[in-house]
Protein backbone atom coordinates (compact mmCIF):
# COMPACT_ATOMS: atom_id res chain seq x y z
CA UNK A 1 0.00 0.00 0.00
CA UNK A 2 1.05 3.59 -0.59
CA UNK A 3 2.21 5.69 2.36
CA UNK A 4 -0.54 8.14 3.31
CA UNK A 5 0.47 9.42 6.75
CA UNK A 6 -0.10 13.01 5.66
CA UNK A 7 -2.55 13.82 2.85
CA UNK A 8 -2.17 17.47 1.88
CA UNK A 9 -5.24 19.26 0.51
CA UNK A 10 -4.41 21.90 -2.12
CA UNK A 11 -7.03 24.10 -3.83
CA UNK A 12 -6.89 23.64 -7.58
CA UNK A 13 -7.67 27.33 -8.00
CA UNK A 14 -4.45 28.46 -6.32
CA UNK A 15 -1.33 27.97 -8.51
CA UNK A 16 0.96 29.33 -5.77
CA UNK A 17 -0.22 26.71 -3.28
CA UNK A 18 0.09 24.00 -5.94
CA UNK A 19 3.69 24.96 -6.63
CA UNK A 20 4.56 25.09 -2.92
CA UNK A 21 3.02 21.65 -2.28
CA UNK A 22 5.59 20.03 -4.57
CA UNK A 23 8.37 20.81 -2.09
CA UNK A 24 6.58 19.67 1.07
CA UNK A 25 7.13 16.31 2.76
CA UNK A 26 3.53 15.13 2.54
CA UNK A 27 3.09 11.48 1.55
CA UNK A 28 0.06 12.35 -0.57
CA UNK A 29 -1.01 15.56 -2.27
CA UNK A 30 -4.54 15.86 -3.51
CA UNK A 31 -5.41 18.74 -5.80
CA UNK A 32 -8.95 19.78 -5.02
CA UNK A 33 -11.68 20.72 -7.48
CA UNK A 34 -14.52 20.49 -4.95
CA UNK A 35 -15.24 22.42 -1.74
CA UNK A 36 -12.14 24.64 -1.76
CA UNK A 37 -12.96 25.96 -5.25
CA UNK A 38 -15.74 28.49 -5.88
CA UNK A 39 -18.32 27.53 -8.56
CA UNK A 40 -17.16 30.30 -10.89
CA UNK A 41 -13.56 29.06 -10.64
CA UNK A 42 -14.21 25.35 -11.29
CA UNK A 43 -13.21 25.23 -14.95
CA UNK A 44 -10.06 27.30 -14.48
CA UNK A 45 -9.09 25.14 -11.49
CA UNK A 46 -9.43 22.07 -13.67
CA UNK A 47 -7.00 23.62 -16.17
CA UNK A 48 -4.58 24.51 -13.37
CA UNK A 49 -4.63 20.95 -12.06
CA UNK A 50 -3.97 19.38 -15.45
CA UNK A 51 -1.06 21.74 -16.08
CA UNK A 52 0.40 21.06 -12.63
CA UNK A 53 0.18 17.30 -13.10
CA UNK A 54 1.84 17.49 -16.50
CA UNK A 55 4.62 19.91 -15.63
CA UNK A 56 5.16 19.64 -11.88
CA UNK A 57 7.71 17.56 -9.98
CA UNK A 58 5.72 15.24 -7.71
CA UNK A 59 8.53 12.77 -7.07
CA UNK A 60 7.96 10.57 -4.03
CA UNK A 61 4.32 11.57 -3.54
CA UNK A 62 1.01 9.87 -4.17
CA UNK A 63 -0.88 12.24 -6.48
CA UNK A 64 -4.66 12.45 -6.25
CA UNK A 65 -7.32 14.78 -7.63
CA UNK A 66 -10.58 15.28 -5.76
CA UNK A 67 -13.35 15.80 -8.29
CA UNK A 68 -16.77 17.24 -7.56
CA UNK A 69 -19.51 14.98 -6.20
CA UNK A 70 -22.05 13.21 -8.36
CA UNK A 71 -24.89 15.61 -7.63
CA UNK A 72 -23.12 18.37 -9.56
CA UNK A 73 -22.76 19.22 -13.24
CA UNK A 74 -18.95 19.25 -13.07
CA UNK A 75 -18.07 15.68 -12.11
CA UNK A 76 -17.98 13.85 -15.45
CA UNK A 77 -15.91 16.59 -17.06
CA UNK A 78 -13.58 16.71 -14.05
CA UNK A 79 -12.80 13.02 -14.47
CA UNK A 80 -12.45 13.05 -18.25
CA UNK A 81 -10.35 16.20 -18.53
CA UNK A 82 -8.07 15.43 -15.59
CA UNK A 83 -7.42 11.77 -16.40
CA UNK A 84 -6.92 12.35 -20.13
CA UNK A 85 -4.83 15.45 -19.47
CA UNK A 86 -2.65 14.01 -16.71
CA UNK A 87 -1.96 10.68 -18.36
CA UNK A 88 0.30 8.52 -16.25
CA UNK A 89 1.01 11.31 -13.74
CA UNK A 90 -2.15 10.60 -11.71
CA UNK A 91 -2.37 7.87 -9.07
CA UNK A 92 -5.96 8.15 -7.82
CA UNK A 93 -9.22 10.03 -8.16
CA UNK A 94 -10.98 10.98 -4.94
CA UNK A 95 -14.78 10.94 -5.09
CA UNK A 96 -16.42 13.04 -2.35
CA UNK A 97 -19.81 12.56 -0.68
CA UNK A 98 -20.08 8.89 -1.58
CA UNK A 99 -23.40 7.60 -0.27
CA UNK A 100 -23.93 4.42 -2.24
CA UNK A 101 -21.86 1.72 -3.91
CA UNK A 102 -23.27 2.83 -7.27
CA UNK A 103 -21.27 6.07 -7.00
CA UNK A 104 -18.03 4.09 -6.94
CA UNK A 105 -19.21 1.78 -9.72
CA UNK A 106 -19.94 4.83 -11.91
CA UNK A 107 -16.43 6.19 -11.40
CA UNK A 108 -14.86 2.77 -11.97
CA UNK A 109 -16.73 2.40 -15.27
CA UNK A 110 -15.74 5.84 -16.52
CA UNK A 111 -12.10 5.33 -15.57
CA UNK A 112 -12.09 1.98 -17.39
CA UNK A 113 -13.39 3.60 -20.56
CA UNK A 114 -10.81 6.40 -20.46
CA UNK A 115 -7.94 4.00 -19.77
CA UNK A 116 -8.93 1.76 -22.66
CA UNK A 117 -9.35 4.68 -25.03
CA UNK A 118 -5.95 6.19 -24.23
CA UNK A 119 -3.87 3.20 -23.13
CA UNK A 120 -3.41 4.62 -19.64
CA UNK A 121 -2.25 2.71 -16.55
CA UNK A 122 -4.81 1.73 -13.95
CA UNK A 123 -5.96 4.56 -11.67
CA UNK A 124 -7.09 4.02 -8.09
CA UNK A 125 -10.12 5.43 -6.27
CA UNK A 126 -10.44 7.10 -2.88
CA UNK A 127 -14.00 7.23 -1.53
CA UNK A 128 -14.98 9.94 0.94
CA UNK A 129 -17.63 9.12 3.57
CA UNK A 130 -19.37 12.37 4.52
CA UNK A 131 -22.95 11.60 5.54
CA UNK A 132 -25.13 9.34 7.65
CA UNK A 133 -26.24 7.50 4.52
CA UNK A 134 -22.66 6.99 3.42
CA UNK A 135 -21.74 5.52 6.79
CA UNK A 136 -24.76 3.19 6.82
CA UNK A 137 -23.71 1.93 3.36
CA UNK A 138 -19.97 1.91 4.01
CA UNK A 139 -19.56 -1.88 3.78
CA UNK A 140 -21.09 -1.99 0.30
CA UNK A 141 -19.10 1.09 -0.73
CA UNK A 142 -15.83 -0.49 0.42
CA UNK A 143 -16.54 -3.61 -1.65
CA UNK A 144 -17.78 -1.79 -4.76
CA UNK A 145 -14.56 -1.81 -6.81
CA UNK A 146 -11.14 -3.38 -6.77
CA UNK A 147 -9.80 0.06 -7.71
CA UNK A 148 -10.57 1.34 -4.23
CA UNK A 149 -7.49 2.11 -2.16
CA UNK A 150 -8.85 4.18 0.73
CA UNK A 151 -11.91 5.22 2.65
CA UNK A 152 -11.67 8.83 3.81
CA UNK A 153 -13.69 10.40 6.62
CA UNK A 154 -15.13 13.82 5.77
CA UNK A 155 -15.98 15.26 9.19
CA UNK A 156 -17.50 18.68 8.40
CA UNK A 157 -20.20 17.47 6.02
CA UNK A 158 -20.77 14.43 8.21
CA UNK A 159 -21.31 16.55 11.33
CA UNK A 160 -23.84 18.64 9.41
CA UNK A 161 -25.50 15.47 8.11
CA UNK A 162 -26.23 14.14 11.59
CA UNK A 163 -26.98 17.52 13.16
CA UNK A 164 -24.03 17.50 15.54
CA UNK A 165 -24.21 20.54 17.83
CA UNK A 166 -20.85 22.17 17.13
CA UNK A 167 -19.06 24.40 14.63
CA UNK A 168 -15.54 23.15 15.44
CA UNK A 169 -14.47 20.30 13.19
CA UNK A 170 -12.67 17.48 14.96
CA UNK A 171 -13.28 18.58 18.55
CA UNK A 172 -15.86 17.10 20.91
CA UNK A 173 -19.26 18.83 20.69
CA UNK A 174 -20.25 20.97 23.69
CA UNK A 175 -22.16 18.94 26.25
CA UNK A 176 -20.54 15.62 25.28
CA UNK A 177 -18.61 15.05 28.46
CA UNK A 178 -17.87 11.33 28.34
CA UNK A 179 -16.03 9.28 25.75
CA UNK A 180 -15.43 10.29 22.14
CA UNK A 181 -18.27 11.47 19.91
CA UNK A 182 -16.37 10.27 16.82
CA UNK A 183 -15.35 6.82 18.03
CA UNK A 184 -18.20 4.88 16.42
CA UNK A 185 -17.82 6.76 13.13
CA UNK A 186 -14.09 6.17 12.91
CA UNK A 187 -14.35 2.51 13.91
CA UNK A 188 -17.17 1.90 11.43
CA UNK A 189 -15.06 3.29 8.58
CA UNK A 190 -11.98 1.42 9.79
CA UNK A 191 -13.78 -1.94 9.95
CA UNK A 192 -15.16 -1.54 6.42
CA UNK A 193 -11.72 -0.56 5.15
CA UNK A 194 -9.84 -3.42 6.78
CA UNK A 195 -12.46 -6.01 5.79
CA UNK A 196 -11.72 -5.06 2.18
CA UNK A 197 -7.94 -4.53 2.48
CA UNK A 198 -8.22 -0.76 2.16
CA UNK A 199 -6.49 2.07 3.95
CA UNK A 200 -8.45 4.38 6.27
CA UNK A 201 -7.74 8.12 6.34
CA UNK A 202 -9.03 10.59 8.93
CA UNK A 203 -10.33 13.98 7.83
CA UNK A 204 -8.93 17.44 8.47
CA UNK A 205 -8.42 19.44 11.64
CA UNK A 206 -9.42 22.98 10.69
CA UNK A 207 -7.63 24.86 13.49
CA UNK A 208 -4.46 25.04 11.41
CA UNK A 209 -2.41 27.10 13.90
CA UNK A 210 -3.10 24.67 16.74
CA UNK A 211 -0.50 22.00 16.01
CA UNK A 212 -0.86 20.49 19.49
CA UNK A 213 -4.59 20.09 18.88
CA UNK A 214 -3.85 18.47 15.53
CA UNK A 215 -1.46 16.01 17.20
CA UNK A 216 -4.06 15.13 19.83
CA UNK A 217 -6.84 14.49 17.31
CA UNK A 218 -4.51 12.69 14.89
CA UNK A 219 -3.24 10.56 17.75
CA UNK A 220 -6.79 9.38 18.41
CA UNK A 221 -7.15 8.09 14.84
CA UNK A 222 -3.64 6.62 14.77
CA UNK A 223 -4.28 4.72 18.00
CA UNK A 224 -7.32 3.05 16.43
CA UNK A 225 -5.30 1.98 13.40
CA UNK A 226 -5.92 4.68 10.80
CA UNK A 227 -3.18 5.05 8.21
CA UNK A 228 -3.09 8.84 7.99
CA UNK A 229 -4.91 12.14 8.14
CA UNK A 230 -5.63 15.13 5.94
CA UNK A 231 -3.37 18.11 6.46
CA UNK A 232 -4.31 21.64 5.47
CA UNK A 233 -1.13 23.55 6.22
CA UNK A 234 2.63 22.90 6.03
CA UNK A 235 2.81 23.03 9.85
CA UNK A 236 0.59 19.94 10.03
CA UNK A 237 2.66 17.85 7.59
CA UNK A 238 5.54 17.04 9.94
CA UNK A 239 3.14 16.35 12.80
CA UNK A 240 1.07 13.99 10.66
CA UNK A 241 4.10 12.06 9.46
CA UNK A 242 5.29 11.67 13.03
CA UNK A 243 1.95 10.68 14.58
CA UNK A 244 1.20 8.01 11.97
CA UNK A 245 4.69 6.48 12.09
CA UNK A 246 5.65 3.98 14.79
CA UNK A 247 8.25 5.08 17.29
CA UNK A 248 11.79 3.92 16.65
CA UNK A 249 11.54 1.65 19.68
CA UNK A 250 8.29 0.02 18.52
CA UNK A 251 9.64 -0.40 15.00
CA UNK A 252 12.83 -2.07 16.23
CA UNK A 253 10.81 -4.36 18.49
CA UNK A 254 8.44 -5.36 15.67
CA UNK A 255 11.33 -6.27 13.37
CA UNK A 256 12.93 -8.24 16.21
CA UNK A 257 9.73 -10.21 16.74
CA UNK A 258 9.54 -11.06 13.03
CA UNK A 259 13.14 -12.27 12.90
CA UNK A 260 12.89 -14.22 16.14
CA UNK A 261 9.61 -15.86 15.21
CA UNK A 262 10.95 -16.84 11.80
CA UNK A 263 13.98 -18.44 13.43
CA UNK A 264 12.06 -20.35 16.10
CA UNK A 265 9.37 -21.65 13.74
CA UNK A 266 11.70 -22.70 10.91
CA UNK A 267 14.91 -23.75 12.70
CA UNK A 268 13.67 -24.95 16.07
CA UNK A 269 10.14 -25.62 14.80
CA UNK A 270 8.38 -24.14 17.80
CA UNK A 271 5.19 -22.08 17.48
CA UNK A 272 5.22 -20.21 20.79
CA UNK A 273 8.45 -19.07 22.39
CA UNK A 274 9.92 -16.50 24.75
CA UNK A 275 11.67 -13.41 23.44
CA UNK A 276 13.23 -12.03 26.58
CA UNK A 277 10.32 -11.74 29.02
CA UNK A 278 7.70 -11.75 26.27
CA UNK A 279 5.89 -14.73 24.79
CA UNK A 280 5.51 -14.49 21.02
CA UNK A 281 3.38 -16.60 18.68
CA UNK A 282 1.57 -16.32 15.34
CA UNK A 283 -0.67 -13.53 16.63
CA UNK A 284 2.44 -11.62 17.72
CA UNK A 285 3.85 -12.00 14.23
CA UNK A 286 0.71 -10.53 12.64
CA UNK A 287 0.77 -7.53 14.97
CA UNK A 288 4.49 -7.02 14.32
CA UNK A 289 3.94 -7.11 10.57
CA UNK A 290 1.65 -4.07 10.81
CA UNK A 291 4.10 -1.99 12.84
CA UNK A 292 7.10 -3.06 10.77
CA UNK A 293 5.35 -2.22 7.49
CA UNK A 294 4.47 1.26 8.74
CA UNK A 295 8.02 1.79 9.94
CA UNK A 296 9.51 0.75 6.63
CA UNK A 297 7.09 2.99 4.75
CA UNK A 298 8.18 5.86 7.01
CA UNK A 299 11.82 5.21 6.14
CA UNK A 300 12.91 4.08 9.61
CA UNK A 301 16.21 2.21 9.84
CA UNK A 302 17.18 -0.55 12.23
CA UNK A 303 19.97 -0.28 14.77
CA UNK A 304 19.93 -3.91 15.96
CA UNK A 305 18.97 -7.37 14.76
CA UNK A 306 17.96 -10.67 16.33
CA UNK A 307 20.85 -12.68 17.68
CA UNK A 308 20.33 -16.38 17.18
CA UNK A 309 20.95 -18.45 20.27
CA UNK A 310 24.18 -20.41 20.24
CA UNK A 311 23.80 -24.15 19.84
CA UNK A 312 25.40 -26.15 22.65
DSSP string, 13-36: T-HHHHHHHTTS--SEEEEESSTT
In degrees and rounded to multiples of 5, residue 174 shows phi and psi of -55, 135
Sign of the torsion formed by the C-alpha atoms of 136, 3, 218 and 63 = negative
Count of residues in the chain: 312
Give pLDDT, residue 37.
97
Q: What is the mean pLDDT of residues 175-181?
A: 87
% pLDDT > 90, the chain: 73
pLDDT tens digits, one per residue of 241-278: 999 998 888 888 888 888 888 888 888 777 777 787 88
Output the pTM of the full model. 0.89
Mean pLDDT taken over the chain: 93
Percent of the chain beyond pLDDT 70?
A: 99
d(CA 190, CA 301): 28
Q: CB within 8 A of 98, min separation 6: which ones?
A: 104, 127, 128, 129, 130, 134, 141
Q: Are strands 228-231 and 199-202 parallel, antiparallel or unpaired?
A: parallel
Q: How far apart are CA 273 and CA 172, in angstroms?
A: 44
pLDDT above 70 (res 311): no
Condensed to tens digits (0 to 9), the pLDDT of residues 103-148 reads: 999 999 999 999 999 999 999 999 999 999 999 999 999 999 999 9
Cβ-in-10-Å burial (0-12, 13-18, 19+) of 200 comes to: buried
Amino acid sequence: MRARRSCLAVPGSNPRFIEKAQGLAADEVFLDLEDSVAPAAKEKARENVVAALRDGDWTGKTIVVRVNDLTTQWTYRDVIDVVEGAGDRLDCVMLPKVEDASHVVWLDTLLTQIEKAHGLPRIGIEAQIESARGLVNVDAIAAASDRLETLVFGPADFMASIGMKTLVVGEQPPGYGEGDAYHYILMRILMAARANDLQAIDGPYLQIKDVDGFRRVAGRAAALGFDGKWVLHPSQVEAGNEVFSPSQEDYEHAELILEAYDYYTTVERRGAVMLGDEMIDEASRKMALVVAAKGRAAGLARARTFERPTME
